Amino acid sequence: MPPPRPTGHVETFVDVPGGRLFVVADGEGPPIVLVHSAIVDLRSWDAVVPFLAGAGYRVLRYDVRGYGRSTTEDVEFSNRDDLIAVLDARGIERCALVGNSRGAMIALDTILEAPERFVGFVWVGGGIGGFDGGVETLADEIALFDEYEAAEKRGDVDAMADIDVRIWVDGVGQPTDRVPSEIRDAVRDMDRPLVTPGRVFGRPITLDPPANQRLGELRLPILVTVGALDTSGTLASARRLAEATGRARLVTLRNVAHLVGMEQPARLAELVAQLLAGLPRWR
């Protein structure tokens, strides 16, 4: 049973150039910021937040531009600047970062651009800017990716959302009852608006040079977490980050796919707390 809803729940918006970000904070203590995947919004962290707040942390999460309740005009922008704007708006000097999937890439890029703002990093089933995976994509993965592309060309929103669930929630080649139906339904509901034609996400400015060329610059404590049922490219990225930094612990979770925080929230929160437990308090 999850812990009760934490105290100090605050919802607000942060204005950024050409956009507005929806931010939610829970709990009290040293701040941790959670950055979500590309097929969901900040609600994907709902099950993780009570555990982290219960462990004595102030937990912030936000919808990146174009996702959830955040909005943007069709402008160039920096996801890194947006993350820093969230910290500044909430009076946070330094924080720990947890990012899943695309959120892990945003978090990693931001750490490289502003390392003084971060005390620890948990990379969860993510990617690395400028890294192509280094492995051959499996045939069953290619088949699903091709199926998604065909659905996208047809403008079939329901099919795209269903395929995203099969790849990222179930895990490629896994049965559709492996994950509880409420998780599959929640992801589908968050994803459907994101794949609907006409959605405006803005035009992100990429980090230059990309993260893959700068991994040796990382100096903070890092935990690399990945589900064993994730895609071949994500598993390769996890190995790349752990090996390239020489300082990251790699944890592979059995019978878990891409959205670790939705499948195993208590375990992920435990791993985050373990990484941060030995650090001096920050704010």
Q: What is the pLDDT of residue 8?
A: 82
Distance CA 130, CA 206 (A): 10
Mean pLDDT of 34-58: 98
Distance CA 23, CA 42 (A): 9
In sequence order, what DSSP letters do the residues of 71-125 get, joined into one string? EE-S-EE-HHHHHHHHHHHTT-SSEEEEEETHHHHHHHHHHHH-GGGEEEEEEES
Q: By three-state DSSP, how is residue 266 classified?
A: helix
pLDDT band at 247 (very low <50, low <70, confident <90, very high): confident
CATH of domain 10-133+199-276: 3.40.50.1820
State the chain's maximal CA–CA distance in angstroms: 53
Q: Which of 87-101, 130-144, 180-194 has the lowest mean pLDDT?
A: 130-144
The tens digit of pLDDT for each residue in 133-162 reads 777 889 999 999 999 999 999 999 999 999
Distance CA 75, CA 65 (A): 11
- Residue 200 pLDDT greater than 70, yes or no: yes
Q: What is the pLDDT of residue 42?
A: 98
pLDDT band at 7 (very low <50, low <70, confident <90, very high): confident
Q: What's the chain's average pLDDT?
A: 96
Domain borders along the chain are: 10-133+199-276, 139-195
Q: What is the pLDDT of residue 133?
A: 76
Mean pLDDT of 51-70: 98
